[in-house]
Structure 1
Amino acid sequence: MRWTSFSSFSLSLEDALHLLQRFFNSSNQIKQIHTVLFTSNALVASRWKTKCVYNTLIRSYLTSGQYKTCLALFTHMLASQVQPIDLTFPSLIKAACSSFSVSYGVALHGQALKRGVLIDPFVQTSFVRFYGEVSDLKSSRKMFDEIVDPCVIACNSLLDACGRNGEMDSAFELFQRMPLTDVVSWTTVINGFSKNGLHAKAVMLFGEMIENKRVVLTPNEATFVSVLSSCANLDQGGVHLGKQIHGYVMRKEIILTTTLGTALLDMYGKAGDLEMALTIFDQIRDKEVCTWNAIISALASNGRPKQALEMFEMMKSNSVHPNGITLLAILTACARSKLMDLGIQLFSSICSEYKIIPTSEHYGCIVDLIGRAGLLVDAVNFTKNLPFEPDATVLGALLGACKIHENAELGNKVGKQLIELQPQHCGQYVALSTLNALDNNWSEAEQIRKVMIQAGIQKMPAYSALS
């Protein structure tokens, strides 16, 4: 049957269900079927078939990313006195989460309880994931505890919820207690460790995964991306493992998707291997904004700021719109090449043209840009005119500029403000002590060290992944 348009036809529910299933992923066709159904009053015929049509429409709109339409359909469903069933809710819960409609998700919880479907394990599992993604770990755990016999999918949902909310001890404890795990379980915990900065643990668990003697587990793309992120952030040893993963990907002829390719590119960039980073960049067929950000950041951070700026122009010529991360990379490139005027100009133009709302990180980059140019007074004045009180990011950039230009007087003022903001952060004490030592103010440097020791703050030791 050749697709034309149904705008001038009426549909039976049987025809509608058949067409919805056939064109499940076709957004335009789904809209046309939807319109005909609602204008022809076909939905009043059979209650059961009507429920099926509503559920299929909701899933279709979810698949095409039209989350608000999913939720609006449910409202229409209730208004039409069509009773939702257990199959109605998982798609709606996912739509509420994807559209950040926390209040709607909570309302769905009430509806599921009212309709008597909250005992369904698939509905319960959906709520475990929903509450985890909206940072309500307490409710996520409570819902999980109500599942009589949680399956591996339910356990994986709670693992993800714990990881998203920084509770990796709880996640790992649950993981070790699970009677059955799959590749998603392992990947979720590895990703949780990686996202929470526990990169050595992520790498260690990946090693256990591939050496598992009880069951053969094949890492998937998400596994590789998570562990590569940790490899990129380890001081030593991570690059070696990252290269082994790259070799595995090549041997298995795994397609270098945008996500996987960008993870490899980022890893090589942070390791300082720009030639390999550029090679990977060229191999990625569909370059998205994250890919361009990774190569621009790699070039900017490894002594090729001008090439980073050229890559930015190439990015725009390919009709890829920059985002906030792109702006950070560009400002870093300008700061490294001491192109202060250009950096300020780009900051203004990019924010204006692409509707980017600057964060404290962006303002910190501007302070770094001005400070590296030696204009410390201008940098101070800039921080005073910010639309918010200078935070640790901004003040840290100013302290870094003081250190570069060995201005101990201003550095001491800024450093003491930083210590008030982050009294347990060892880096502020170390930077301030080093600055005074550079100025030959040994007594002040020693005093700062004493204050740090008395406060029970220890300098973080250098880490080796090989130890």
Structure 2
Amino acid sequence: MPQSPEHLLRLLQRFIKHLNQIKQIQTLTIISGHLHFNPVDTSKFRWMSTLLFNALIRAYLNVGQPYQAIFLFTRMLDYGAPPNNFTFPSLIKAASSLPSSTSVVGRSLHTHAIKCGVSLDPFIQTSFINFFARFGSLSDAQKVFEEMSEPCIVSCNAMLDVFGKYGDMGLAMLLFGSMRKRDVFSWTSMINGFGSNGCYGDAIRCFEKMMAHEDVIRGIVRPNEATFVSVLSSCAYSAGERALYQGKQVHGYIVKNEIELTVFTGTALISVYGKLGCLTNAMKVFNQMKCKQVCTWNALISSLASNGKEKQATDMLERMKKQEIWPNEVTFVALLSACSRAKYVDLGLELFRSMSQDFDVVPRMEHYGCVVDLLGRAGLLREAEDFIKSMPFEPDDTVLGALMGACKVHGATELGNEVGRRLLKLQPWHCGRYVALSTINAWAERWGHAADLRKDMTAAGIQKIPACSLVHSL
């Protein structure tokens, strides 16, 4: 029995997240002839067929079938159904989820949007801003934004994200300052932009300005989970009392306003307290969290390891298994680092073996570097060298750097020089490599070699980075 277009649309709305039913509805639509050109009633056909195509494209996107959504658009053009302003946002989102090598799809969509006369629709423009940002074209995103006669707050926020992603916080601040209205996403984009570009102090100051703004004081704007995580991440990477103070302020705000500790906010708090030496607070947050994921356990293991509680850190793996939390790559970096600090050689090697055998975690360069550091700190330099030779890929600067650091500590001059020469080939402009290698030779009273390395640094125009110390009370 033929189905009416209205009935098919209702079916799509009902089964919008069910792939099998969507395919069946598409088949019914084709059989009923609603997608084929009908010259008898052109205007009605085109309106209805466009509506059906839009619904099908959105349905396939909702069930994670972006290629099928794009394919439907090509069929839409073949059947003569005209795309409208409701067609492109779903298509752009589908194109954004494709691999970077297929960015040409999005650019083709941009061309079609211009031809259809809908490229100036604010929703479509904002979608294209996000698309171009995703595929690494700041200039194209900026061009689309500049074409907007009156950018809405959503498009401004999208552009703030773009500037932050590409490290142009100067333009981000100019845009932010020109915005007549700002919401929580505006502030969070700025905080996250500063933090992701290493400007941790600026991120903290931006959060402070946000909390002192009248919109926040009056309750018009409220910080959300993303805001907390962004500023806490900057606190964790900063040093000094201000970072710890701000971390505690965020924690106090969460408690005072009876905001539930989410997985990500709680994990960020644990990282802040752990990295800034407040292990007791980190443990309290961990115990208060109702829901914990593997990232939460990883943060606590790292906090324990960096605060002299290596045994407790390694014991966490058994607790994770009892809670049916499966460890991942980050977990083993934290565990191996704990073993390295405590010189638990046998345990560290056993954990490294168990990664692939028991947990299906393939060791990466970082894991190999941790094992080299473990063996090196324990003075097992030849074992560390043999371990490097057994690696399935060439060691990078972190792996070789760990071995050279161990050579420096244990006075292994010959091996240190051998590793040092390899490092200088990888990092010819790294001042620290020259200094470490010079120090190794100086301690062995090989003054000529030490002096030559210093001369090589000067000749290459490489300057030693001045050291500094920071003392703060907790």
- 5+ residue gaps, structure 2, are 35-44
**What corresponds to 2:41 in structure 1?**
none
Does 2:398 align with 1:410? no
Match of 2:33 among 34, 38, 44: 44
* Structure 2 match to 1:218: 222
Q: What per-residue deviation string (whole Å, max 9, x for no partner) do you get for residues 186-214 of structure 1?
A: 21121111122221111111112222357
CA deviation string 1:270-329 (max 9, x = no partner): 123223222222332232222222122222322223322332233234343333222211
Query: Residues 301, 101 of structure 1: CA spacing in aligned structure 2 closer, same or farther, 3 A cutoff?
Result: same
2:145 & 2:361 partners in 1: Cα distance?
Answer: 39
In the TM superposition, residue 223 of structure 1 has moved relative to its aligned partner by 1.0
1:198 equivalent in alignment to 2:199:
yes
Is structure 2 residue 217 aligned with structure 1 residue 207?
no
Amino acid at match of 1:241: Q
Number of equivalenced pairs = 454
Q: Could you tell me whether the CA contact under 8 Å between 1:402 and 1:411 is conserved in 2? A: yes
Matches of residues 42-81 of structure 1 in structure 2 within 5 Å? 44-45=33-34, 47-63=46-62, 65=64, 67-68=66-67, 70-75=69-74, 77-78=76-77, 81=80
Q: Give the conservation status (yes or no) of the 8 Å contact 1:370–1:376.
A: yes
CA contact (8 A) 2:67 2:94 kept: yes
With normalisation by structure 2, the TM-score equals 0.82
3-state SS of paired residue (2:368): helix
Distance 1:275 1:72, change over 3 A: farther
> 1:44 and 1:332 mapped to 2: Cα distance?
65
| 1:247 Cα deviation from its structure 2 partner | 0.5
In structure 2, how many angstroms separate the alpha carbons of the residues matched to 1:312 and 1:77? 54
SS in 2 for 1:172: helix
d(CA) in 1 for partners of 2:289 and 2:340?
28
Residues 4-47 of structure 1: CA distance to partner in whole angstroms, max 9, x if unpaired?
xxxxx9864434434544565xx3xx335413312323663354
- In the alignment, is the contact (CA less than 8 A) between 1:10 and 1:37 conserved in 2? no
Is 1:163 matched with 2:149? no
Residue 447 of structure 2 is aligned to residue 455 of structure 1? no
Q: CA RMSD in A?
A: 3.4
Distance 1:15 1:173, change over 3 A: same
Aligned to 2:187: 186
Distance 2:124 2:101 in 1: 16
User: Residue in 1 aligned with 2:125?
Assistant: 124
Structure 1 residues 1-400: aligned runs within 5 Å: 12-18=4-10, 20-21=12-13, 27=17, 30-41=18-29, 44-45=33-34, 47-63=46-62, 65=64, 67-68=66-67, 70-75=69-74, 77-78=76-77, 81-103=80-102, 104-213=105-214, 217-237=221-241, 238-351=243-356, 354-400=359-405
Cα distance between partner residues in 2 of 1:464 and 1:183: 35
Tell me, which stretches of 5 or more residues in structure 1 are unaligned? Answer: 1-8
Aligned AA (2:223)? P
Q: What is the TM-score with the length of structure 1 in the denominator? A: 0.84
Q: What letter matches 1:458 in structure 2?
A: I
Map of 1:4 onto structure 2: none
Identity %: 47
Moved more, 163-172 or 218-227: 163-172
Query: How far apart are the structure 1 equivalents of 2:222 and 2:374?
Result: 46
- Give the SS at the match of 1:105: helix
Q: Distance in 2 between matches of 1:118 and 1:248?
A: 43
The one-letter code matched in structure 2 to 1:186 is: W
Is the 8 Å Cα contact of residues 199 and 233 (structure 1) preserved in structure 2? Answer: yes
Task: Tell which deviates more after alignment, 287-296 or 436-445.
Answer: 436-445
- Cα distance change of structure 1 residues 51 and 198 upon mapping to structure 2, 3 Å threshold: same
What secondary structure sits across from 1:40 in the alignment? helix
- Cα 1:205–1:83, aligned 2, differ >3 Å: closer, same or farther? same
Q: Secondary structure at the match of 2:405?
A: helix
CA distance in 1, matches of 2:57, 2:169: 34
Aligned-partner Cα distance in 2 for 1:36–1:370: 61
d(CA) in 2 for partners of 1:357, 1:81 = 51
State which drifts further: 443-452 or 420-429. Answer: 443-452
Task: Report if aligned partners of 1:89, 1:112 keep a CA contact under 8 Å in 2.
Answer: yes
Which has the higher mean CA deviation after the structures are superposed, 90-99 or 429-438? 429-438
In the alignment, the residues of structure 2 paired with residue 58 and residue 113 of structure 1 have an alpha-carbon distance, to the nearest angstrom, of: 20
Contact 1:338 1:372 in 2 (8 A): yes
